[in-house]
């Protein structure tokens, strides 16, 4: 599949929607999250960091978007509950973005670049 500018923008929009959906969306008390999703999901070839210019998307996880490598265990803070792996949530984001675009799961996938950057590639 060739990814032209229009398709890249559609993928960007699908990932933005999927991130908002999987990580819980926003409330009036959390406008920073929506702003982060709007400003920190870049086309790979135009991303200011230039970490992976061959990626479709370069997503920055420093302003509110959870990264793809964190693990949260509530017991670390004295609370009950299950361990949460962000990598599992990012797989859901990949799958939802593909669904939103009407494409088979696995058409696109995420790959952490480091703890602050997630890149999206064609599968």
Query: Tens digits of per-residue pLDDT, 27-72?
Result: 555 678 889 999 999 999 999 999 999 999 999 999 989 999 999 8
Q: What is the pTM of this model?
A: 0.90
Express each pLDDT in 80-103 by its tens digit. 999 989 999 999 999 999 999 999
Q: Is 71 exposed, middle or buried (0-12, 13-18, 19+ CB in 10 A)?
A: exposed
**What pLDDT shows up at residue 2?**
75
Tokens of 66: 């959870």
């Amino acid at each position: 599949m060739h990814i032209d500018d229009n398709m890249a923008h559609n993928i960007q929009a699908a990932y933005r929607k999927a991130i908002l959906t999987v990580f819980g969306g926003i409330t009036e008390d959390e406008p920073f999250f929506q702003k982060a999703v709007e400003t920190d999901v870049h086309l790979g070839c135009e991303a200011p960091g230039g970490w992976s210019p061959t990626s479709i998307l370069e997503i920055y996880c420093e302003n509110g978007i959870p990264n793809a490598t964190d693990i949260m265990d509530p017991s670390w803070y004295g609370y009950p509950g299950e361990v949460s792996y962000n990598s599992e949530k990012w797989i859901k984001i990949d799958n939802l973005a593909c669904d939103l675009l009407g494409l088979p799961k696995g058409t696109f996938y995420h790959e952490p670049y480091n703890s602050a950057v997630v890149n999206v590639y064609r599968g």
